[in-house]
Amino acid sequence: MQRTDDITLKAPSGATLTERYHAHETVGKLLEQAVREFGREGQLDPSKPYILVLNATPLEDQLTLEAAGVRPGDVLNVRSKSIPGDGDAPRVL
């Protein structure tokens, strides 16, 4: 059961992980923990680069959760950095 001071991390596969919200923890540290745990569960490939996303906004690793605008109850998505962007997608001839 989720406490009111928790946040939820969501893997690309849809799996979730509940973590205690610590306002002064960095986004990067939380991301490392999420990738390690989801990797251990086989939910993602821990050798790939990832970012945390809140409401479609990528979060900067060096910011604290509080400075990044993360609040208790939020859901943070773990997203691959290697999703093809404009110009990266394969071309169809």
Over residues 1-56, the pLDDT tens digits come to 456 699 999 999 999 999 999 999 999 999 999 999 999 999 999 999 999 999 99
Q: What distance in Å separates the CA atoms of residue 20 and residue 1, rounded to the nearest whole number?
A: 12
Q: Specify if 42 maps to a domain.
A: yes
Q: Specify if 20 maps to a domain.
A: yes
Higher pLDDT, 91 or 39: 39
Q: Specify if 86 maps to a domain.
A: no
Dump pLDDT digits (tens) for 59-88. Answer: 999 999 999 999 999 999 999 987 554 444
CATH number at residue 58: 3.10.20.90
Comparing CA positions, the residue from 10, 26, 83, 64 lying closest to residue 18 is 10
pLDDT value of residue 83 = 58
Domain count, the chain: 1
